[in-house]
Each structure stands twice: as C-alpha cells, then as structure tokens.
C-alpha cells in the first residue's frame, strides 16, 4: 500500500502495569508489546514509520529501521503526534496514527482502515469498535449521514451518549494536509496542559473536513492493554491466532489452549504438537515430527519424523536429524544429532556432534568445561553406529569413532578408536561380610 506513513505513540510508562518496565516493552510470545504494533504497521505497508518515545525509552528503539522522535514531556496524544512532524518533513500522504498498547492489532485490519479512508475521500478516519462493555472509552457520535460529528470522552458523555456502543480505539488515519494544521490549533483543556487527538478530529469537522469511522470486525483487535490482566488476555488471543494459522495449514495441535508458539516458529504440515509445549524463536519443525507434551524448544531445528519428549528441553543451536529421537527428560544444547540417532532419556547433550544410527544410553553427559575461566569450550564428537551405555560422561574435547561401544558408568577422557570397546571405571571389589561386621560393632 503506497504513500502511507505511520506514527506510533510509545512514550508512556503505563503505571497501571505496576512494573519498572515501561508498558510497551512487556513481552508477548517472543515480542515486546510495541513490536507487535510495528509488525502490523509494516504488514500494512507503512513507510516511513516514526516511533514517538520518551527521553527514558528513546534508546530502546536504536539500531533498527524506525525513525524516532522524542516527546520531552507527556503532554497528551496530540502533543505526541505533533512531536513526529519534523521526522515526516516534506511527506505528503496519509498518516496512520497508532497506539503502542494495542498488540492484537493486525496489518489486515489496518489495510481495511486505509482502504475505507481513501474510498470515502475522508480527511480523517477513526478505527472504531463495538465491544460488549464500552467502559469509559470515548464514544463515536455520528451525523445522520453516518459521518463522524465528534468523539466524546467516556467521562464527559451524557447518559444518552453513554448508551452508544461504538467506541474510539485511538487509532486513526489522516490526510497529512488535514493533520498538521489541526495539531497546530490544539489548545489545552486541563491544568496539565495536555493536548488530545480527539480535539484534532473536532477541529477537522469544524473546518468543513470529512471524518469517517471504520468499525473493526473483531473488537479485540482495537483493545488496549493497561494491566497485567489485560496483558494475559492479549497473549491468549495472539496464541489462539497463531495456533489456528498452523492448524489450518495442516499441523496437528492436540490442545491449542496449552500450546504456546511464537510467531517466528515454522511448522510443516503433518507435524504434531502435544499439550503444554512451548516453541520459541527460530525453531523449525519438519513434516512428520512429533513434539511430546511439556517440551520446550528454543531456536531448534527438528527434522522430519523426529520424536521429541515428553519433558524435553531443546536449547539454541540444537539440530535433530530425520527420524531421530530426543526423549523424556533430555536436554540438548548447541548440538547436532544425526539421522535415526536416539537420545532416549535422562541425558544432557551439549556442544556435541553425533552421527547417524547411534544410540545414547540413559544418563549421558557431554562436559565441555565452559566453567573454567579463559578455557575455550571443547566439543564432543560421537560417530555413527555408536552404542553408549548408561551413566557415561564424555569430557570434551573427545572423539568416539564409528561403531565403538562404551561400557556402563565410564567417564571418557580420551579418544576412542572406531569399533573399539572403551571402559573407563574402577574395577568392582566385593568385601565379604563387611556390612555384617559393621552392624555388630
């Protein structure tokens, strides 16, 4: 969608969150709240995109492709948008105005809003909604022809106006030629000297401009988040959206309400995800793979027809080959597990390369000595067709050749040749009658 800029208001602290973290930076499924709105604006084609931050939060937006303007003092929404004017100097076109606390907003709805704005030839268009409980949101008062006459704040509304179901979401699109003159004419209406965008709407109407409202089909998209209760509600809505998208694309999610999948995760058709699973970051699950209950995977690659969990933790850098297995109470980090290789249960595999068709016995640990200051991490290399036993430790750097066997309880500190049997443990000694003598003494 061409010739569309956006201004995102993200300068408030959100005191009702009862947090030292500014409201807009609370996490939601792998993104901050404000990142969800940025993603929606980008999806709608907004460019440039100006974030209005406070002096305290300005640095949090450095390093990206966003333009940043600073609202020096919190003087209301009208002042916040006015702070972005210099960043949009010379721009002529439509300007989306977004609030940084509406993470359920979608790019699709913003496209609908801008399309309606342009189709109606409006100077400004409000995104409105009709929630079951309008609470103290501003009400949209319409003229007989359906155009907007004014927006009345919920606290100022008469009894008749409070019965209006249509509310103002504080999301707008303006023609820039109508926006900036209206903002310049704003005057404070309280002792704090705050300036409000709703007054800009009234100024456009008084000047003979056309203001319309586009009703969101799903009122939740326009809902703001001000408390941790509302944050949890938004997270559930986003979770359900993501899970529905995957299920419609051919993924089996056994219990969507207990499955949390971040938006960057990729799931191929005919993969299966069991309850109480968390998939995060750049995790990818290929066709036919089955992720067991209570599994957590972060930036992991799960190969086709692999079997994971239950109660498995795949940390960043984990790559599981085709038809491999990472079983119950297994943790794997920064390791590559070959095709058809099995790590069935009760093992920690870190900084390792394991070949194909290998079986890792229960209780295996690969130790990389990362806790020694100044010493680089070593890697454990275990070849193909290797059979390790229970309670083996591998002290990196160490290499186990193809086809080798490892004796139970062995701590392996030296390389093991291919097809060899390695036993590294003290010989058992039985002292006859020792326990009985101790009991008599």
Among all residues, which ones are annotated catalytic? Answer: 345
| Local structure of 249: helix, strand or coil | coil
Q: Which of 143, 15, 8, 172 is nearest to 84 (CA)?
A: 8
The two structure tokens encoding residue 193? 């000297």
Number of separate helices (H) and strands (E) present in the chain:
8, 36
**How many alpha carbons fall within 13 Å on the CB side of residue 399?**
4
Torsional sign, CA 159, 163, 164, 166? positive
Query: Which among 430, 344, 426, 434 has a CA at the least distance from the CA of 387?
Result: 344
Nearest residue to 128 (alpha-carbon basis) of 156, 148, 107: 148
Instruction: Please give the C-alpha separations between residue 407 and each of 11, 357, 412, 424, in angstroms, as whole numbers.
Output: 62, 18, 10, 7
The alpha carbon of residue 291 and the mean position of all alpha carbons in its chain are separated, in whole angstroms, by 20
Maximum Cα–Cα distance across the chain: 106
Annotate 236-265 with b (16+ C-beta within 10 A) or e (fewer). Answer: ebbbeebbeebeeeebebeebeebbbbeeb
DSSP states of 150-203: EEE-TTT--HHHHT---EEEEEEEEEHHHHHHHHHT----STT----HHHHHHH
């Amino acid at each position: 969608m061409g010739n569309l800029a956006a201004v995102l208001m993200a300068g408030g602290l959100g005191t009702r969150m009862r947090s030292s973290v500014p409201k807009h930076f609370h996490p939601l499924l792998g993104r901050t709240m404000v990142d969800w709105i940025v993603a929606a604006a980008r999806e709608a084609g907004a460019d440039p995109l100006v974030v209005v931050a406070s002096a305290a939060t300005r640095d949090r937006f450095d390093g990206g492709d966003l333009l940043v303007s600073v609202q020096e003092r919190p003087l209301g929404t009208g002042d916040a948008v006015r702070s972005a004017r210099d960043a949009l100097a010379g721009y002529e076109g439509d300007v989306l105005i977004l609030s940084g606390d509406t993470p359920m907003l979608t790019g699709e709805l913003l496209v609908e809003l801008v399309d309606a704005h342009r189709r109606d030839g409006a100077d400004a268009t409000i995104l409105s909604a009709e929630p079951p409980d309008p609470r103290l949101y501003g009400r949209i008062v319409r003229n007989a022809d359906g155009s907007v006459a004014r927006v009345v704040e919920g606290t100022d509304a008469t009894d008749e106006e409070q019965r209006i179901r249509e509310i103002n979401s504080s999301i707008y699109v303006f023609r820039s030629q109508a926006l900036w003159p209206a903002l310049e004419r704003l005057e404070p209406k309280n002792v704090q000297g705050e300036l409000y965008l709703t007054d800009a709407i009234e100024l456009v109407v008084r000047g003979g401009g056309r203001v319309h409202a586009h009703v969101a089909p799903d009122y939740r998209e326009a809902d703001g988040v001000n408390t941790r209760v509302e944050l949890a509600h938004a997270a559930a809505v986003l979770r359900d959206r993501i899970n529905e998208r995957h299920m419609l694309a051919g993924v089996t999610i056994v219990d969507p309400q207990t499955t949390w999948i971040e938006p960057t995760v990729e799931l191929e058709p005919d993969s299966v995800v069991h309850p109480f699973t968390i998939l995060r970051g750049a995790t990818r699950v290929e066709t036919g793979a089955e992720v067991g209950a209570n599994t957590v995977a972060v930036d992991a690659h799960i190969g086709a027809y692999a079997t994971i969990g239950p109660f498995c933790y795949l940390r960043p850098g984990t790559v599981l080959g085709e038809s491999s297995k990472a079983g119950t109470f297994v943790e794997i980090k920064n390791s590559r597990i070959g095709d058809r290789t099995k790590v069935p249960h009760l093992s920690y595999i870190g900084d390792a390369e394991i070949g194909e068709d290998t079986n890792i016995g229960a209780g295996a640990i690969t130790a990389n000595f990362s806790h020694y200051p100044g010493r680089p991490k070593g890697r454990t290399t275990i070849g193909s067709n290797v059979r390790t036993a229970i309670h083996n430790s591998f002290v990196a750097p160490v290499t186990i050749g193809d086809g080798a066997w490892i004796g139970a309880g062995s701590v392996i500190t030296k390389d093991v040749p291919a097809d060899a049997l390695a036993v590294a443990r003290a010989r058992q000694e039985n002292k006859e009658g020792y326990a009985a003598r101790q009991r008599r003494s």
